[in-house]
Amino acid sequence: MARLPEEPVPQPVLSPVTSAAIFLVVTVDPGGEPGVRKLLSDLAGLQRAFGFRATSGMLSCVAGIGSQVWGRLFAGPRPAELHTFRELVGARHRAVSTPGDLLLHIRAERLDLCFGLAAEIMERLQGAVTVRDEVHGFMYFDMRDLLGFVDGTENPVGRAASAAVLVGDEDPQFAGGSYVIVQKYLHDLQAWNALPVEAQEMVVGRSKLSDIELDDEVKPADSHVALTTVVDPDGTKHEILRDNMPFGSVGQGEFGTYFIGYARTPAVTETMLERMFLGEPPASHDRILDFSTAVTGSLFYVPTADFLDNPPDPPGTGAYSEAHTATVSDARARPSDVSLRIGDMKASTADEQSAP
């Protein structure tokens, strides 16, 4: 009896929300590629070693790989929609694009587990990478951000989450993977807290206490909820999986939200961001941006666990040359026949679209 092909095993993208997280974005130094390949293949074992010490801690780690480093690490084809995060410049606000070759998203119920795994990872990557951003996130009360609103209410669950997040037959060589966009937002809490609660609710599009979405007749067109809800003319709703975390430094007066959005295609997140920063008539931009500034922005492909365990050969040793992968690289970034064609919206200048 013929054996059925095994389903690809995703990285723990769909793990439950935890109370702590560390986000590391690094770039790979010239000559650091072998060390990075070794770390990626060892990552699952490191996670098990640290997680076994406290199984109730729910330790997990997801690794994402950026467009500019892909051809330096692997020979052969690349994910169809992997490209660098594209800057968005609106009339009043800007979504910046910042360097990022690797994303390490470490989650647990205890910060010490996140810290221990992060420290071991960086020890192994010493001399191979440069850290571009490091954020330690925490759960704030009942899943609220530092603006005081519940974050992640509309996350899909179960089969809907898998369908929204995991690549399918549209890119069979990379099925089971995912795309992730990250942005670090800093909040002007002094200006925000000067607003009455009712005005804050008009900015967000939800009731602050109950977390119930405002009625369409009341909800402003430039509210955060209105602009980040992506629905086709036929009623099809496009979703992403957010695992956002608050972060901050009280002494330095820094308060923020680390946005991280996983999706089957980056086009969904990009459309959300385009609407936020470039507007969607009659809204000129998302009003939440008047109080929250994006200071980073990067896009990554999250390979399957199987891919990391048994990666392709390094460039120059496989059937494809490094020159070929470089040529294919950003030329394949979001081709028109792959993008979602969400409604009548043009997914033009953006590269991500998600909400803080």
53: nearest Cα among 116, 6, 8? 116
Q: How far is CA 55 from CA 17, 60, 76, 302, in A?
A: 16, 11, 38, 24
Residue appearing with tokens 């496989």: 318
For the whole model, what pTM was predicted?
0.88
Asked whether the predicted pLDDT for residue 204 surpasses 60, the reply is yes
Kindly report the average pLDDT of the chain as a whole number. Answer: 90
Q: What is the pLDDT of residues 100-150, one digit of tens each?
A: 999 999 999 999 999 999 999 999 999 999 999 999 999 999 999 999 999
Active-site amino acid positions = 151
Asked whether the predicted pLDDT for residue 174 surpasses 70, the reply is yes
- pLDDT score at 6: 76
Asked whether the predicted pLDDT for residue 247 surpasses 90, the reply is yes
